[in-house]
Amino acid sequence: MEWRILPLEIQDAFTAMATDEAIMESVARGADPTIRFWRWQPSAVSIGYFQSLTEEVNLEKCKEMEVDVVRRKTGGGAVFHDFDGEITYSVIGPEKIFPQGIHESYSLICSSIVDGLRNLGIDSEFKPINDIIVGGKKISGNAQTRRRGILWQHGTVLYDLNVKKMFTLLKVGSEKVSDKMIKSVEDRVTRVLDHKKVRMEELYDALVKGFTKGKNFHFGRLTEDEKDRAKFLAGDVYLKDEWNFRR
């Protein structure tokens, strides 16, 4: 078995979600398991499958600040994906090549991120259910689903974080973003730049090394079929209110 690695792309939220799903479908038809990396442009908020868009997201502020909003096919919480603030990855492969247990499979995939951060000299650890922490603070959130015999996990590694902007875009139960709220997040969340003054490119290189460690792999690209399918899914599902406002 050989993994296909898709190098870092810049994508809008709808295309990113649709690309993941298109890859999942092609892997279900026998394509190589795939690991890919991307950054969100425009910056975006994604919400978990079970969340209520209107309860979680300040849609007016998102519109005003030109931040896209999309519902994921995975569970978990609302995330602000700042273009300058993170690298996102996806791992998509047949369920049979991963541990059957949910926690074990999260742990295995997240160990690639732990390895990647170690390449930068940052000691992190997997914290069930779906987080990676450094010194007790979250640096990476991850979400997994399994469909049609395929395991699909995506997650983010925080490079930088604009807490005030995040609170402006997400509903946090208060109209005014207070210093106390900002401090509370800063007590719970950390970012690569808190630990190492590296460029985003260095984080990306470290993550590629972490994710490919011990694997047979080749660098590839999306097939034309995958691109076409992603374009269709972006317009037919992820851009639609019917999907994004469904809960």
Partner 1 sequence: MKGFAARKVPGGKLVKAQVEYGYILENVKITGDFFLHPEESISDIENAALSCHHSDSENVFKDKILEVVKRKKIQMIGVTADDFAQVIKEAIRGMENSPS
The residue ranges that bind partner 1 (CB under 8 A) are: 48-52, 55, 73-78, 102, 129-130, 143-147, 247
How far apart are CB 225 and partner 1 at their closest, in Å?
Answer: 25
Give whichever of 77 and 94 is closer to partner 1, judged by the CB atom. 77
CA 215 to chain centre: 21
For residues 207, 80, 189, 135, the Cα torsion angle rounded to the nearest 10 degrees is -10
Strands 44-47 and 150-158: unpaired
Give whichever of 146 and 231 is closer to partner 1, judged by the CB atom. 146
How far apart are CB 124 and partner 1 at their closest, in Å?
Answer: 18
Strand pairing partners for 194?
none
Give whichever of 165 and 247 is closer to partner 1, judged by the CB atom. 247
CA angle 91, 93, 97 (to 5 degrees): 115
Give whichever of 173 and 214 is closer to partner 1, judged by the CB atom. 173
How far apart are CB 198 and partner 1 at their closest, in Å?
Answer: 30
SS3 79: strand
How far apart are CB 145 and partner 1 at their closest, in Å?
Answer: 6
SS3 36: strand
